[in-house]
Amino acid sequence: MAQGEQRLLSYFNIDRDIPHMYSHELETEYNPIPPALNLAGANYLLPEFSDMNPELTGFRVALVMSHGPELSEFHVPVRYLRDRGAVVDVITEDWVFDDQPGEASGMVVLAQFLAVNVCVRADKRLSNVKAADYDALIILGGAWNPIILRSKDAVLEFIRDSYSRRMLIAAICHGPQVLVSAKAFPAGTRVTGVKDIRVDLRNAGFVVVEDRPVVYDENERLITSPDPQPESQKAFCEAIGDYGKRLLAERTSPVSA
């Protein structure tokens, strides 16, 4: 019996001597997925950026995620920021390191709609980082990633700590769902998000802005974008970059007498 099965039986106080059926065994009762079924969904065009400005060396970004963010929503902002000199730490929950054995330790699955054939190794575990070490926090979308994140107290506390420190918080697509659960932002904060979560955002007191590729609530230091379409991702990245450029300029400007 696998170690995971032993823990499951022990947790639910199930008699190990009685044969049990597990959900994975149900696969034999159903049809395999035919090759013609496109699990990867839309093949999003990636945005193009005209130059390497702004220069972001010294800008520190925490990207907190779990399994299942959309591949392009991860790749585009990480590449954009790192190419311009920013430090981007990919941070995930401790169990992704501790409960995934061997070479799988710390590996986070990146999704393309329903396809899950690529992954990336996280840089740091959540318990080893502090919001005070960063200038900005990014929360990605995807189907499973925000669902997992919004149910984890340590993640929500990290978001609340980031907000209390007046850090920039940026969320794309389904990512703003996590902000609903964090309950850090006051009613009236301006946001956008993918269409199916907008009613949830409104019910939580956010003001949802329609038909915009990015929304920046300057008072609350919140950037949101509705989807992984190239116009949205370009605007999302550039809004984060513009914020970083302003922040770095403030740090290096001489103190007025």
Structure-block tokens of residue 241: 């970059």
Structure-block tokens of residue 86: 């920013």
Alpha-carbon span 149 to 171, nearest angstrom? 13
Alpha-carbon distance values, 157 to 62, 150, 161, 173, 184 (Å): 14, 10, 6, 21, 9
Q: What is the pLDDT of residue 52?
A: 79
SS3 190: strand
At which residue do the structure tokens 């060396």 appear?
A: 57
Kindly state whether residue 115 falls inside one of the protein's structural domains.
yes
Alpha-carbon span 103 to 93, nearest angstrom? 17
Count of domains observed in the chain? 1
Kindly state whether residue 34 falls inside one of the protein's structural domains.
no
Look up the domain containing 131 and give its range.
60-252
Q: Shortest CA distance to 194 belongs to which of 227, 152, 164, 150?
A: 227
Kindly state whether residue 85 falls inside one of the protein's structural domains.
yes
Kindly state whether residue 29 falls inside one of the protein's structural domains.
no
Kindly state whether residue 200 falls inside one of the protein's structural domains.
yes
pTM of the predicted model, to two decimals? 0.90
Active site residues: 173-174
Kindly state whether residue 257 falls inside one of the protein's structural domains.
no
DSSP class per residue in 55-122: P-TT-EEEEE--S--BHHHHHHHHHHHHHTT-EEEEEE-HHHHHSS-GGGTTEEEEEETTEEEEEEE-
Kindly state whether residue 78 falls inside one of the protein's structural domains.
yes
Could you read off the pLDDT tens digit of each residue along the chain, which spans 257 residues? 555 556 555 655 666 666 678 898 999 999 999 999 999 988 999 999 988 778 999 999 999 999 999 999 999 999 999 999 999 999 999 999 999 999 999 999 999 999 999 999 999 999 999 999 999 999 999 989 999 999 999 999 999 999 999 999 999 999 999 999 999 999 999 999 999 999 999 999 999 999 999 999 999 999 999 999 999 999 999 999 999 999 999 998 876 44
Kindly state whether residue 248 falls inside one of the protein's structural domains.
yes
Alpha-carbon span 181 to 184, nearest angstrom? 8
Q: What is the pLDDT of residue 256?
A: 42
* Region of residue 137 (left: phi > 0; alpha: psi -120 to 50; beta: else): beta
What CATH number should be reported for the domain holding residue 73? 3.40.50.880
